[in-house]
Structure formats: C-alpha cells, structure tokens
Amino acid sequence: MKKAVLITGAGSGIGKATALEFSKNGYFVHLMGRDKQKLEDVALHCRAGAALMSCDLTDVAAVTKRVGEIIENPLYQVEVLVNNAGIFKTHTIEDSSDEMWREQFEVNMLAPMRLTRLLTPYFKKHRRGSVVNVSSTLGMRPSGATGAYSASKAALNNWTQLLAQELGPLGIRVNCVCPGLVDTPIHPFHLLEGAAKDEALKGMAHLQPLGRIGTPEDVARSIYFVGSDLSGWTTGAIMAVDGGINLT
C-alpha cells in the first residue's frame, strides 16, 4: 500500500510547494482546493502521482464524501493530513463585521477541525497518522488590523497542542507550522511584477533578521519535516518558520 498525504489549499503558494515536496519524497498526493485548473497544473508535477479533490472546505457534505472515498481506497494509506487552506482579511474592530469573523474562523479553524475529525478514526485504526496545521506567526503574536485572522490562528495553535495530548496515545502526531511573511497569493505584493515586486520585497526584507521574505518552498520543507517520519518523536510543536520576524 502506497503512502499518501492529503493537502488543503493545494492549488498555489505553500500548498502547492508542499504537494511537490511530499511527492518528491515518494508520497501519493491528494490535492484539495476550489480551483480545479490549478489543482490539475499541480498534479502534472507530482511525480509520485496525485488525485484531485475540487471542493469548497465550507461545504461539509462534499468534504465528508470526498474524504470517505479516500479512506476507502485500498491502494493508498493516508499517513499525513496538511491543513493548509486559509483566508486572510484585514480590518479594524470598528470596520469588522460578524460575517468577516465567521468566514475566517470557518476556513482557518473549523475546516481543519472537521478534516481532522473525519480522519481520526482512520488514523486510529492504523495506529499511525500525522496532522500538520499551517498557522501563522500572527497566531503567536498579533499585529494591528488582523483581529479575526490572528484570533483564528491563535485558536488553531492552541487546538494543535490540545489535540497532540489527546491523540498521542493513539499513535497520532499533531504539529503546527507558523509561516511569517511569505511570497504567496494571500499577500497583495505577490501580484506585483518586475522592478515593482523587487522593490516591495526589498522594502520588507529588513523586518526579518535573516534579511529576506520567505518562499513557499521554505515553508514546505518544514511542513514535510514535521509531517513525515523525520519528526517521528515530535508532537504538539508550534514551529515558527518566519526568518525570525517573530523575534523583532
């Protein structure tokens, strides 16, 4: 039975890089995301094979159905779940709305919880499983105008450590990776090109002690490290992968 990984938000950015990293290391990759075309493009580069799961994480019935199909497949054993999908919107407390808070908690916290809940009996049956929650340094130390996002990621960090205690005796590891400033579609500067983008990245580089903005590949390597057997004795870790920005 071939080892497999399920990755949400796999169509671009950190999710895409993580899919390629696991594939490079022999994992069959289940790619989950909303944009089928982007998932197809990623699948073309997954040398160990890939399957597409085009659905919205907020569609509970659809997600439940697709996960059920995965765990019933006798050809692959899902060993790792990477809860990577997220949504980021800035706001002050005065211009925020209930809907804005609900939306970010729905995707950033409740969706990872539901997927993990669906896969826990499967992991428990095999006495083997690894969950990696992709959070943010804003979940460790918030910044202005990021109330709902920072709060949802702080909840994800806390839940990671709670779940590590709960599932550890069942042979299931749960860890969290917290990226800092990374060049992904979640940030407006990602859309810039040429000299304008170079200038934007240069202007933010000084915020990190390591002197540069992160790449999706920087984070993907850390996700693979904590998700795979390379970290077989690690659970409950909250790992900052941020160039040191959380220290400044």
What pLDDT digit, counting tens, does each position of 183-238 carry?
998 888 777 788 888 888 888 999 999 999 999 999 999 999 999 999 999 999 99
Return the pLDDT at 53.
Answer: 96
> Is residue 64 scored above 80 in pLDDT?
yes
Return the pLDDT at 195.
Answer: 84
Claim: this prediction has a pTM higher than 0.75? yes
When pLDDT is cut at 50, 70 and 90, the band that residue 131 belongs to is very high
Any idea what DSSP says for residue 25?
T
In CATH, the number for domain 2-179+214-238 is: 3.40.50.720
Catalytic residue among 27, 122, 149, 224: 149
- Mean pLDDT of the region 7-28: 99
Domain ranges of the chain: 2-179+214-238
Return the pLDDT at 219.
Answer: 99
> Is residue 1 scored above 80 in pLDDT?
yes
- Mean pLDDT of the region 75-79: 96
Q: Quick check: is 149 catalytic?
A: yes
Return the pLDDT at 126.
Answer: 96
When pLDDT is cut at 50, 70 and 90, the band that residue 31 belongs to is very high
Q: How far is CA 163 from the centre of its chain?
A: 16
**Average pLDDT of every residue of the chain:** 96
Phi, psi of 76, rounded to the nearest 5 degrees: -130, 145
What percent of the chain clears pLDDT 70, i.e. is strictly above it?
Answer: 100
Query: Helix, strand, coil shares of the chain as percentages rounded to 5?
Result: 50, 20, 30
How far apart (Å, rounded) are the C-alpha atoms in residues 60 and 82?
A: 18
Return the pLDDT at 117.
Answer: 99
- Mean pLDDT of the region 154-176: 99
Phi, psi of 94, rounded to the nearest 5 degrees: -75, -35
- DSSP per-residue string spanning 32-70: EES-HHHHHHHHTT-TT-EEEEE--TT-HHHHHHHHHHH
